[in-house]
Homo-oligomer: A and B are copies of this chain.
Amino acid sequence: MKTDPIRTPALLIDNVRFERNVERMNARLEHLGVPLRPHLKTVKNAELARRMMAGHPGGATVSTLAEADYFRAAGINDLLYAVGIAPGKLEAAATRMARGMQLTLILDHPDAARAVADAARRLDTNFRLLLEIDADGHRAGFQPDDAALIESAKILERGGTTPVGVMVHAGGSYACRDRDCLVRTAKAERDSAVAAARALRDAGFEAPVVSVGSTPTTMFAEDLGGVTEVRAGVYSFMDLVMAGLGVCTLDDIAISVLTEVIGHRVRDGQVIVDAGWMALSRDRGTAEQPVDQDYGLVCDEDGRLLSPEVVVAATNQEHGILARRDGEPLDISQFPIGRRLRILPNHACATAGQFEHMWLLGADGECLKTLERCRGW
């Protein structure tokens, strides 16, 4: 078997699908006329990051300072740390900027702006800031017409730091159930960003950066006029949540977890494999979608779906239980002890996040190489 050298459970990336996903996103952004600042929290690997960044201006997005350090060491220096800055991290950010990292931070509260302005004086650092805008009530952000937005920009400016624009993430796109919702959410994301940038400009700020994005909104946006960059990451691996949203098909999913059959529950017609929640993660992102994929869909060793009926129905730390979703027993004879299978996960970021490295598979399923993954904070 081709996966023989790999000890299970293991994270596999299909190189052909990865490349196709990258090309599809690039074609989409060419059509929209906006460059990409890929979010690297999905791949957490420098080689894959460079392939996502090819043909774009060279900036990237990260979700932790550990990622910033890792990608900086790999030569990627223009980094947007896209989580509202914790005051306790400002000294670490300043240290990185003093060493030459072009680090941009975000915030969405006048008190955070005050903390940044204080730290800027104390640490003699000209922080670069984007102001986070809320498009859909999903997570964080100023309302575009919120007086606190302008107030925060002024606090930053008085503190000697640079508010360089706005950023929006329409996380609500993940909750869409149809194409209309995705198109509408993409429009709301773009509109809120552009409106907030206009408000900043009306107040005398240059606001050159208007940053939006998520994979679903980028795929369904009809117009990104006024937007200067798009952030997306999960498009590179895709997953069952994206397939459930209609953003991709099952054949686009480049990520899977290799596992091996270790037991049978004959009475229940179920099969035990050696991929539990430690490998798959506990993510149940499809639970609220029209088709709940439990802990993932089951493919053969070559990545071909066994049946849309066969799922990972339950997990323990290092055990997964395969079952038919209709409750009928599996044909156990198809799952001999030692058979290798692949699991398509709900959420690429969560599943990949459980691993320290991943195996890149070529067009014939051969192992091209292992790729490290950045971890921690």
Contact = CB atoms under 8 A, between A and B. Distances in A.
Contact of A88 (B83, B263, B340): B340
Contact of A350 (B115, B265, B277): B277
Contacts of A263: 84, 107-109, 112, 140
Contacts of A140: 262-263, 265, 272, 319
A283 B277 contact: yes
Interface in A279-328: 279, 281-284, 316-319, 321
A376 B358 CA distance: 11
Contacts of A89: 7-8, 260
A356 interface: yes
A319 B83 contact: yes
Contact of A109 (B267, B279, B282, B337): B337
Given A139-B321, A337-B115, A338-B115, A375 B350 contact: no
For the residues of A in contact with B, the DSSP-based class is: loop
B337 A87 contact: yes
Nearest to A316: B139
Nearest to A319: B139
A272 B108 CA distance: 11
Contacts of A279: 377
Most chain B beta-carbon neighbours within 10 Å: one of A88, A108, A340, A357: A88
Nearest to A112: B337
The copy count of this chain in the complex is 2
A50 interface: no
Given A111-B336, A263-B112, A281-B282, A8 B86 contact: yes
B260 A171 contact: no
Nearest to A141: B263
Contact of A86 (B87, B92, B109, B260): B260
A377 B8 contact: yes
Contact of A353 (B109, B278, B319, B377): B278
Contacts of A340: 88
Interface string A324-357: 0000000000001110100000000110011111
A163 interface: no
A10 interface: yes
A112 B263 CA distance: 8
A41 interface: yes
Given A139-B321, A350-B277, A9 B377 contact: yes
Contacts of A189: none
B337 A64 contact: no
Contacts of A272: 84, 139-140
A85 interface: yes
30 contacts: A7-B89, A8-B86, A8-B377, A9-B377, A10-B377, A41-B318, A83-B274, A84-B272, A86-B261, A86-B262, A86-B338, A87-B260, A87-B338, A107-B263, A112-B263, A137-B267, A137-B268, A139-B316, A140-B263, A140-B272, A140-B319, A278-B353, A281-B281, A282-B283, A282-B284, A317-B350, A355-B376, A356-B375, A356-B376, A357-B376
Question: 3 shortest A-B CB distances, which residue pairs?
Answer: A282-B282, A87-B338, A84-B262
